[in-house]
Amino acid sequence: MKDCNCIFCKIIDGKIPSAKVYEDDKMLVFKDIEPKAKVHLLAIGKDHFKLLSEMDKDRAELLSHMFSKIPQIAADNGCQNGYRLVINQGDDAGQTVFHLHIHILGGEQLPW
Ligand code: 5GP
Ligand code: ZN
């Protein structure tokens, strides 16, 4: 992570500022800089990898941890009435940051 030229690793390291809403030893959640819904958070793990296809046991445990935390984080940040999770994978999905991240969208009725 230290020598990684990745914008989200830099956010984890505090080299780029972000509006953090949750942090623990394994993950960070912060507000998306260009929100696509009233509430738009990004959940990232403190382990740099790009795609679900790079999954191994440790990464599976990390994602399990992240998914277990997200419901409370969403509820605490204005998504009491539901929310949508999005994980863009690769070019056709429009992935722009190549550090696996989970979009948390809500705070309003979302269009499909
Ligand atoms: P992707 O398109 O890769 O699934 O999502 C990347 C997301 O990261 C986009 O929604 C974009 O707005 C957000 N983003 C990119 N750079 C930054 C940044 O420096 N800070 C924050 N908070 N969000 C960012
Ligand atoms: Zn990274």
Query: Which two tokens mark 46?
Result: 């403190």
Please give all residues whose beta carbon lies within 6 A of any atom in ligand 1, as ranges. 7, 16, 18, 30-34, 42, 88, 94-97
User: Which pLDDT does position 4 carry in this prediction?
Assistant: 76
Nearest CA to ligand 1 atom 13: 32
Mean pLDDT, the chain, as a whole number?
96
The bound ligand whose nearest atom lies closest to the alpha carbon of 9 is 2
CA 61 / ligand 1 centre spacing (Å) = 24
Share of the chain above pLDDT 90, in %: 96
> In the predicted model, is pLDDT for residue 92 greater than 80?
yes
Pair 39, 83: CB distance under 8 Å: yes
Q: Provide the pLDDT for residue 49.
A: 97
Rounded to two decimals, the pTM is: 0.97
Rounded-to-10 torsion of CA 26, 28, 29, 35: -130
Whole-number pLDDT of residue 107: 98
Q: What is the pLDDT of residues 25-77, one digit of tens each?
A: 999 999 999 999 999 999 999 999 999 999 999 999 999 999 999 999 999 99
Give pLDDT, residue 2: 53
Q: Please report the pLDDT score of residue 52 as a whole number.
A: 98
Determine the distance separating the centroid of ligand 2 and the alpha carbon of 46, expressed in angstroms: 8
